Structure 1
Amino acid sequence: MSDTMQQEGDDVERPGRDVQVGCAHHSRLYRDGVLVASDLPLTELAKHRGEPDTLFWVDLLAPTAADLRTLVPLADGEVELHPLAIENAAAGSQRPRLVRYRDHSLLHARAVRVDDRTGSLASTRVAVFILDRVLITIRSDDGFPLAPLLEAWDDIGALTKRGVGFLLHALLDQLVDGYFEVLDDLDDRIQSVEDELLEGTGPTREIQLQSFALRKDVVKLSRVVLPMNEALSALLRPGSHAAYDEIVPYYQDVYDHALRATERIDGLRDTIESILSTSLAMQGNSLNEIMKKLTAWAAIIAIPTGVTGYFGQNIPFPGYDEPWGFWLSAVMLVGLASGLWVSFKRRGWL
């Protein structure tokens, strides 16, 4: 190591410049496209700042603003993390977007998943500081696992020597792949509701409640995916990375996947609206059938009511004061009512 590099390392080790955080953290050090070390203490990692062909990644899990301020020594000597960037990364309430500062960028994103306990959607806030040789990720919780991401970085191999843009691409690819896993789950749930509706195996109210819950999850997912498209589009603008010409096809691939996720969200939203419309139409048809049946039974009941009312008048009628008069009225009640019942049954009203 040169005298200048040794002097920088000594500066890092001085009191007040130690890189210590109180939250769980992970790290990786790459040199010339080769993984040199993993999970080094941040103070040790900072000693390699500025070395040629070296880049490193740091991940913090649910850090505080004070934890983020300790990351400043990890940045290159000419780079100072913007105070607003540190504040926004600590707050974690930003919608997915890319914010550019003078010499670094901050990407706000969200990872989504299906909660195994509740079956509803859950999200993890992910903030990413993007520097020329440093990538810092900040996760609000461990809902976004690191194992698949580390495997993806192992697969890209020597591409890491071309800058953090390729590390960022793998991270974005993992995020977007998570969107498709959620979309597949929503698609299966919607298909199940459709089957219950068409087969008539589920109560109408339960089907409507499931449809409303699905629509709520689709809206929640769209609030993540749609802004993410804008952030990915911003990454495709010229000059966003030193290796811009080389990284564009990779970012374009992720951007195309995000657009396809958006199209699927629109399709799921239309399907849910169709389920609700079909449910209401079937409910209206069922109500019409019930009204027809009630009308038919009312007509059947009206016949004996009319006959008994007619014979209840104080006027002589055939069979008056005769036993066969009673049987005549009984035959008329049963015969006319049975005739109406057969007629309505043939028409499908009963």
Structure 2
Amino acid sequence: MTGTETPRDTPAGPPGESPALRPRPAGRPRTTPSRPDGAGPVVDCGVYVAGRRQEPVDPHDALTQAVEQGGFVWLGIYAPTEEELGAIAEHYGLHPLAVEDAVYAHQRPKLEGYDDDLFMVLKTATYVEHDRLTATSEVVETGEVMVFLGAHYVITVRHGEHGGLADLRQSLEEQPDLLCLGPSAVLYAVADHVVDAFVDVASAVEDDVDELEASVFSDRRTDDIGRLYQLKRELMSLRRAVSPLEVPLQRLAERRTPAVPEAMRSYFRDVQDHAIRVRDQVAGLDELLTSILQASLARTSQADNEDMRKISAWAGIIAVPTAIAGIYGMNFEFMPELRWRYGYPLVLLVIVTACVLLYRGFKRNGWL
């Protein structure tokens, strides 16, 4: 699913400021694109009780209402600063190490436990459309989604232009039976959404691999080495996002975790199975690209050898008239047949005969 999360009807704070967070300090470096001017990091906040979303609530009061009603709050955040996320962390009691990871991003997919709470990092990926793959084409664009999970809250922190969760939230709200299982249902849905995106990206990359394979083994001579290296680099980004995800999902599926009820473990087992299949598909594509690259290098080497043989064959043919002309061009006074009437046409006949014989010999041996 694509798109970006859009704010719902939550009470507005002061102009140009998020209702829950302080404004961004000037000059702080950011690893993801800046938000629109005046936009806060909170893109959506909802309280869910018995699988149903409640009336719009102020983010300041969301956790209190969720605890009082026996539900949970889902807070969606986009590219927060350290100060912005710090304000939320203090309110929800988030661990400072997890908060640091969520702010600066560029994390490896992982799952960490802090008391009864969980913190999970997932890499997102999307396929970048292009008319033709080149040696500089961007094929896979990655981002990150971090999930804080507690007994009465789930906080999703997103970095990157893609991987919006608005459609996912809407889809989940149409499944109250799943939301009844608590915050871990949101974690499952986010993980499933990310892995499904991996499947789509891997399928699209496979089309690029097929195109390169057809180009390498076509009858025409093409220079595909640069494109092959670029696609391998882009595929490596996808592999780094997919491969480490297996261990966190296995932990959620097989180990007892306070934040994840028993009923949710089968859901995570299904996501783990999909992730393993994508991992195998990506590994297979990488091996296939390696084989295609080796074949391309072999064909290039073979083509160079063929060119060298042709050049050598023509050089051998040209050497005959060059040698004869060089001998009779030395201008010595006493040379055999120098003043013979038929010497000139005989030399020409010898040259043509020798060249024809050499040409036929090289042609028969595949050098021409």
Pick the TM interval, shorter chain: 0.7 to 0.9
Q: Which residue of 1 aligns with 2:231?
A: 214
Q: Which residue of 1 aligns with 2:348?
A: 330
Give the distance between the partners of 1:288 and 1:201, measured in 2 at CA: 16
Matched, 1:347 2:347: no
What CA deviation, in whole Å up to 9, does each residue of 1:62-100 have, x standing for no partner? 11222223325764xxxx322222222222232111111
Q: Which residue of 1 aligns with 2:101?
A: 88
Deviation at 1:48, TM superposition (A): 0.7
What CA deviation, in whole Å up to 9, does each residue of 1:8-28 have, x standing for no partner? xxxxxxxxxx94454242122
Aligned-partner SS, 1:93: coil
What CA deviation, in whole Å up to 9, does each residue of 1:185-230 have, x standing for no partner? 21111111111111144632xx111111111111111111122112
Deviation at 1:284, TM superposition (A): 1.4
Give the distance between the partners of 2:221 and 2:317, measured in 1 at CA: 33
Q: Which residue of 2 aligns with 1:194?
A: 213
Q: Which residue of 2 aligns with 1:15?
A: none
Greater mean alpha carbon deviation, residues 325-334 or residues 339-348: 339-348
Deviation at 1:151, TM superposition (A): 3.8
Residues 238/220 of structure 1: CA separation in 2 closer, same or farther (3 Å cut): same
Aligned-partner SS, 1:213: helix
Letter in 1 for 2:246: N
Q: Which residue of 1 aligns with 2:305?
A: 288
Whether the aligned pair in 1 keeps the contact of 2:116 and 2:259 (CA below 8 Å) is: no
Whether the aligned pair in 1 keeps the contact of 2:122 and 2:146 (CA below 8 Å) is: yes
Q: 1:98 aligns with which of 111, 117, 125?
A: 111
Letter in 2 for 1:215: K
Aligned-partner SS, 1:162: coil
Q: Which residue of 2 aligns with 1:112?
A: 125
Mapping for residues 1-350 of structure 1, pairs under 5 Å: 19-20=20-21, 22-37=40-55, 40-72=57-89, 75=92, 80-116=93-129, 119-201=138-220, 203-204=222-223, 207-241=224-258, 244-311=261-328, 315=334, 317=336, 319-350=337-368
Deviation at 1:176, TM superposition (A): 0.6
Aligned-partner SS, 1:51: helix
Aligned-partner SS, 1:323: coil
Give the distance between the partners of 1:294 and 1:253, measured in 2 at CA: 61
Higher Cα Rg: structure 1 or 2? 1
Identity %: 27
Letter in 1 for 2:115: R
Whether the aligned pair in 1 keeps the contact of 2:51 and 2:173 (CA below 8 Å) is: no
Whether the aligned pair in 2 keeps the contact of 1:226 and 1:262 (CA below 8 Å) is: yes
Residues 33/338 of structure 1: CA separation in 2 closer, same or farther (3 Å cut): same
Q: Which residue of 2 aligns with 1:4?
A: none
Whether the aligned pair in 2 keeps the contact of 1:34 and 1:158 (CA below 8 Å) is: no
Greater mean alpha carbon deviation, residues 186-195 or residues 23-32: 23-32
Letter in 2 for 1:284: S
Greater mean alpha carbon deviation, residues 108-117 or residues 334-343: 108-117
Aligned-partner SS, 1:321: coil
Pick 1 or 2: higher relative contact order, CA cutoff 8 A, min separation 6. 2
Residues 188/266 of structure 1: CA separation in 2 closer, same or farther (3 Å cut): same
Aligned-partner SS, 1:203: coil
Residues 198/62 of structure 1: CA separation in 2 closer, same or farther (3 Å cut): same
Whether the aligned pair in 2 keeps the contact of 1:94 and 1:108 (CA below 8 Å) is: yes
What CA deviation, in whole Å up to 9, does each residue of 1:312-335 have, x standing for no partner? 666553x54132111111111112
What CA deviation, in whole Å up to 9, does each residue of 1:140-162 have, x standing for no partner? 23411123312431343222112
Structure 2 unaligned blocks of 5 or more: 1-18, 23-39, 131-136
Aligned-partner SS, 1:128: strand
Aligned-partner SS, 2:186: helix
Q: Which residue of 2 aligns with 1:10?
A: none
Give the distance between the partners of 2:144 and 2:326, measured in 1 at CA: 77
What CA deviation, in whole Å up to 9, does each residue of 1:117-138 have, x standing for no partner? 7633222221110011211001
Give the distance between the partners of 2:328 and 2:202, measured in 1 at CA: 71
Greater mean alpha carbon deviation, residues 180-189 or residues 230-239: 230-239
Q: Which residue of 2 aligns with 1:3?
A: none
Letter in 1 for 2:275: A
Residues 36/326 of structure 1: CA separation in 2 closer, same or farther (3 Å cut): same
Deviation at 1:45, TM superposition (A): 2.1
Letter in 1 for 2:51: G
Whether the aligned pair in 1 keeps the contact of 2:195 and 2:275 (CA below 8 Å) is: yes
Letter in 1 for 2:367: W
